[in-house]
Amino acid sequence: MDGGQPVPSPLVPLGNVSSESSMSLEQKTTFVFVILLFIFLGILIVRCFRILLDPYRSMPTSTWADGLEGLEKGQFDHALA
């Protein structure tokens, strides 16, 4: 090697940071989109845990058979004709 001197890496910027190293418009848009996806994922996770903790709270109190007038519940085979 060159006498023990460290080799500069192209991935590590040196002390002089120019305006070219700032984020471009495409990178900013992607960053905002990813942040919005994480917020949406967090909302979905919270909603799923709430449903898992109390599944009967989100169910309606009435059933589909409440609207039947002349038929008894469970006997709907003649109603299809």
Q: What whole-number distance in Å separates Cα of residue 35 and Cα of residue 28?
A: 11
Query: Residue 68 CB: number of other CB atoms within 10 A?
Result: 14
| Tens-digit pLDDT string for the chain (81 aa) | 556 666 655 555 555 545 556 889 999 999 999 999 999 999 999 999 998 998 888 777 766 655 555 555 555 555 555
Residue 46 lies in a domain: yes
Domain count, the chain: 1
Residue 75 lies in a domain: no
Residue 71 lies in a domain: no
List the domain range (segments joined by +) for residue 45: 25-54
The model carries a pTM of: 0.46
Torsions phi, psi for 19 (to 5 deg):
-70, -15
Residue 2 lies in a domain: no
